[in-house]
Amino acid sequence: MARLLTRHQMLVATGISGSVFDRMINRGGMALTFGVLRAPVANRYIATDPIFARVVIDLAAASRLPQPVIATLARLNNVIVLETIVRAEKKSEPLVLAFIKGANGVQLFGGTDSGLRRHLWGPPKSGRLQRPERLEQVVSIDLAKLIAAVRQRANAAGFDLGAPLFLMPDDPRYAAIKRELLEIREQETMRLEKACAALRQRVTQDVMIP
């Protein structure tokens, strides 16, 4: 399972100060792996949490949009972010996370550059992620570089985030967690944080902080 981190390790790996971290949470500008603003138990962050935090920071900076806007999108699409992180550790082709704004709303896309181009300009596809109408803005970040930078900060501080960062798709527990996350996503937004926090606590309850 994912390695557990203390708050200090979370801050070091993310590359921000405690005051910035707290300000992001207070403004609604934080997103963690299980779709929440903060870890439900102190000092129980997991190895993918710094990646989620950096996704919000980097996409907000690149798009010049407020962090709470990007954070909300990441929390509501945490399955997309998590899947892309997992794929990035196995796939040789670089993967991106992209913020897409169209006249009919905003989207978060995870995949290859070619997959992003097909989504935006290729034949229309059926499914949840529809091509946006009247494309207004597309901003992407290189997820492999982001993960490498997070790992480098952790290693420089003397701790390892572990490999892989999360369960791999061939682990039976991964499918079960993904299925439950997808069910949570379909529930009304006001129940999202409570349900995801309960799942997160279950997943990490038997893991010790190194």
Q: Where are the alpha helices (DSSP H) in 42-91?
A: 49-63, 67-76, 78-88
Rg (the chain; Cα; Å): 16
Let me know how many helices (H) and strands (E) the chain has, helices first. 9, 5
Mean local confidence (pLDDT), 86-102: 86
Portion of the chain with pLDDT greater than 90, in percent: 46
Average pLDDT over residues 147-168: 93
pLDDT over 80 (residue 176): yes
Within a 10 A sphere around the Cβ of 104, how many other Cβ atoms?
Answer: 11
Average pLDDT over residues 118-129: 72
Residue range 2-7: mean pLDDT, rounded:
88
Query: Domain locations in the chain?
Result: 4-204
Question: Is the per-residue pLDDT at 192 higher than 60?
Answer: no
Distance of CA 196 to the CA centre of its chain: 13
126 or 60, greater pLDDT: 60
Burial class of 68 by CB neighbour count within 10 A (0 to 12, 13 to 18, 19+): middle
CA-to-CA distance for 34 and 171, rounded, in angstroms? 18
Helix (H) or strand (E) holding 138: strand 137-142
Q: Is 206 left (phi over 0), alpha (psi -120 to 50) or beta?
A: alpha
Residue 143 has pLDDT above 80, yes or no: yes
Cα dist. 117→48, 155, 208 in Å?
A: 27, 35, 42
**pTM (2 d.p.):** 0.84
